[in-house]
């Protein structure tokens, strides 16, 4: 026994008489602490599960189920965000109405109204020349092996395959060429599709072919000029720019007869009178023609067919002139670059904005929309059209947070577990 021990022992001789302990209160306090600890553990587990559910399960829950047994209605909304997915599956037979087709490098993908993507084809083949019906329920594309035009009903899963198609790069052995560098146009009722195709015999590329998607029947339509769309379910709008201040419009029946001819004067001369296949889009809803100047200024002209003169023109920068312009309901849009992505952009002054944002790494080229999708309501997301990195990686961040909480809880549990000191001499 050392002297310091004796001194310390002496110091505390009378202490116990002055220290009052309440064993009952200590016990009750311990019970309360244990209850709180258990509740905290349960809350942590629930939080982790909720975060995992939010990050993984929820996006699948909100994804529309296959509409094979649905009411046959078409698409009524469009996604505002298209981002990366952990897995992009093949397009199912019956995904239901879809909103768009997106070209990424050599592949085409199908996009649901909520932005979920499916692979249409994985081959190194950009010349599918796909088309999506206005209601998003019918998909048409050119299959390469064997070379067939596929008409796929996305609601019922039924498919029609039409053989005998060739493109200009192949030997002349089929019945029709299909120009994959032209847009295709759906009739307003979605029953017919106008293809930039022409009979092999005669090599007449001014001609077009109309496909009846219900039966697969083909009708050759002799038409001149560039096509801007359907005037109604039985006639087409063809456009030419004979002078740089004049747009000549012909309404042509499916038998090739010109039903009406209209000259529309431009308020501002366009710099390039060569309109091209991506230069015009007609809207049956507003009876207006949208013309994109392929010159230096990328001017966009809005021309009501009834007025005979231009209503409005706007200058838009960074327009991709190899993507077709179009109409989102009664608002015109062009395809404009946002970073490396070509995206639909509303051009009306005061309402200019991108309709959708796509994650940069997807490097999307032209998007092909179901007309009713863009005419419907946007599926707003939590982060709007933000391009911030965390807005694209919120699922990964949530899972990381959940794992961090789980790890932290495990460490806390490990460190706070009851332990007895281990003495060397025990």
Partner 1 sequence: MEKGEEVTVDFETFVHARSAALARTAYLLTGDVHAAEDLLQETLARSAERWSKIIRGGDPEPYVRRVLYTRAVDGFRRRRLVEVHTEHPELAGPGDEADAHASRLVLREALMRLTPRQRAVLVVRFFEDRSEVETAALLGCSVSTVKSQTRHALGRLRELAPDLLADFSPVEAP
Binding site for partner 1 (CB under 8 A): 1-5, 7-27, 29-31, 33-34, 37, 418-425
Written as one string, the DSSP assignment of 10-33 is HHTTTGGGT----HHHHHHHHHHH
What is the closest distance, in whole angstroms, from the C-beta atom of residue 413 to partner 1 in the complex? 12
What is the closest distance, in whole angstroms, from the C-beta atom of residue 41 to partner 1 in the complex? 13
What is the closest distance, in whole angstroms, from the C-beta atom of residue 36 to partner 1 in the complex? 9
Which of 397, 371, 370 is CA-nearest to residue 382? 397
Which of residues 3 and 296 has its CB atom nearest to partner 1 in the complex? 3
Which of 101, 109, 116 is CA-nearest to residue 63? 116
What is the closest distance, in whole angstroms, from the C-beta atom of residue 5 to partner 1 in the complex? 5
126-130, long-range: CB within 8 Å, 24+ apart, which pairs? 127/167, 127/180, 128/180, 129/178, 129/179, 129/180, 129/182, 129/184, 130/101, 130/368
Query: What is the 3 state secondary structure string of 260-272?
Result: EEEEEECCCCCCC
Retrieve residue 199's tokens: 């009979």
Q: Is 272 exposed, middle or buried (0-12, 13-18, 19+ CB in 10 A)?
A: middle
What is the closest distance, in whole angstroms, from the C-beta atom of residue 411 to partner 1 in the complex? 16
Which of residues 4 and 388 has its CB atom nearest to partner 1 in the complex? 4
In whole angstroms, give the CA distance from residue 131 to residue 313.
Answer: 29
Residues 6+ apart with CB under 8 A from 123: 106, 107, 144
Which of residues 60 and 416 has its CB atom nearest to partner 1 in the complex? 416
Give SS3 for 331. Answer: strand
Which of residues 38 and 265 has its CB atom nearest to partner 1 in the complex? 38
- Angular region, 62: left φ>0, alpha ψ -120 to 50, beta rest: alpha
Which of residues 14 and 414 has its CB atom nearest to partner 1 in the complex? 14
Which of residues 1 and 201 has its CB atom nearest to partner 1 in the complex? 1
What is the closest distance, in whole angstroms, from the C-beta atom of residue 405 to partner 1 in the complex? 22
Give SS3 for 379. Answer: strand
Written as one string, the DSSP assignment of 48-76 is HHHHHIIIIIHHHHHSPPP-TTS------
What is the closest distance, in whole angstroms, from the C-beta atom of residue 415 to partner 1 in the complex? 11
Which of residues 31 and 84 has its CB atom nearest to partner 1 in the complex? 31
In whole angstroms, give the CA distance from residue 349 to residue 398.
Answer: 39
What is the closest distance, in whole angstroms, from the C-beta atom of residue 24 to partner 1 in the complex? 7
Which of residues 71 and 426 has its CB atom nearest to partner 1 in the complex? 426
Query: For 410, which DSSP code?
Result: H
Rg (CA), the chain: 33
Query: For 200, which DSSP code?
Result: T
Residues 6+ apart with CB under 8 A from 136: 74, 75, 97, 98, 99, 113, 154, 370, 372, 373
Which of residues 11 and 351 has its CB atom nearest to partner 1 in the complex? 11
What is the closest distance, in whole angstroms, from the C-beta atom of residue 7 to partner 1 in the complex? 6
Q: Are 163 and 145 in contact (CB under 8 A)?
A: no
What is the closest distance, in whole angstroms, from the C-beta atom of residue 408 to partner 1 in the complex? 19
Residues 6+ apart with CB under 8 A from 8: none
Which of 323, 221, 317 is CA-nearest to residue 276? 323
What is the closest distance, in whole angstroms, from the C-beta atom of residue 47 to partner 1 in the complex? 22
Which of residues 33 and 269 has its CB atom nearest to partner 1 in the complex? 33
């Amino acid at each position: 026994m050392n002297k310091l021990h004796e001194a310390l022992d002496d110091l505390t001789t009378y202490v116990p008489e002055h220290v009052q302990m309440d064993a009952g209160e200590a016990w009750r306090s311990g019970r309360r602490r244990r209850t709180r600890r258990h509740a905290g553990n349960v809350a942590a587990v629930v939080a982790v599960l909720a975060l995992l559910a939010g990050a993984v399960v929820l996006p699948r829950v909100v994804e529309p189920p296959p509409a094979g047994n649905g009411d046959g209605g078409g698409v009524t909304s469009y996604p505002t965000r298209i981002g990366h997915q952990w897995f992009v599956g093949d397009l199912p037979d019956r995904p239901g109405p879809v909103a768009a087709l997106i070209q990424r490098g050599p592949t085409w993908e199908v996009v649901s109204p909520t932005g979920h993507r499916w692979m249409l084809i994985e081959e190194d083949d950009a010349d599918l020349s796909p088309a999506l019906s206005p209601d998003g329920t019918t998909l048409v594309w050119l299959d390469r092996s064997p070379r067939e035009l596929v008409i796929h009903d996305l609601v019922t899963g039924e498919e029609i395959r039409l053989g005998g198609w060739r493109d200009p790069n192949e030997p002349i052995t089929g019945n029709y060429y299909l120009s994959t560098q032209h847009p295709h146009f759906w009739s307003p009722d979605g029953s017919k599709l106008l293809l930039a195709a022409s009979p092999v015999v005669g090599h007449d590329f001014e001609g077009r072919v109309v496909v009846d998607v219900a039966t697969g029947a083909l009708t050759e339509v002799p038409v001149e000029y560039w096509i801007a769309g359907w005037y109604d379910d039985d006639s087409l709008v063809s456009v030419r720019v004979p002078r740089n201040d004049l747009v000549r419009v012909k309404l042509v029946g499916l038998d090739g007869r010109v039903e009406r001819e209209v000259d529309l004067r431009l308020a501002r001369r366009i710099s390039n009178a060569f309109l091209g296949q991506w230069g015009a889009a007609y809207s049956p809803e507003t009876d207006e023609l949208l013309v994109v100047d392929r010159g230096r200024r990328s001017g966009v002209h809005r021309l009501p067919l009834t007025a005979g003169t231009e209503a409005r023109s706007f200058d838009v920068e960074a327009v991709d002139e190899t993507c077709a312009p179009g109409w989102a309901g009664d608002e015109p849009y062009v395809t404009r670059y946002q970073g490396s992505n070509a995206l639909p952009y509303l051009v009306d002054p005061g309402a200019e904005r991108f309709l959708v944002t796509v994650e940069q790494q997807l490097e999307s080229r032209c998007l092909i929309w179901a007309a009713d999708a863009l005419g419907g309501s946007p599926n707003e997301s939590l982060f709007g059209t933000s391009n911030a990195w965390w807005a694209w990686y919120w699922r990964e961040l949530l899972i990381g947070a959940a794992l961090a909480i789980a790890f932290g809880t495990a460490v806390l549990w490990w460190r706070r577990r009851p332990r007895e000191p281990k003495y060397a001499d025990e």
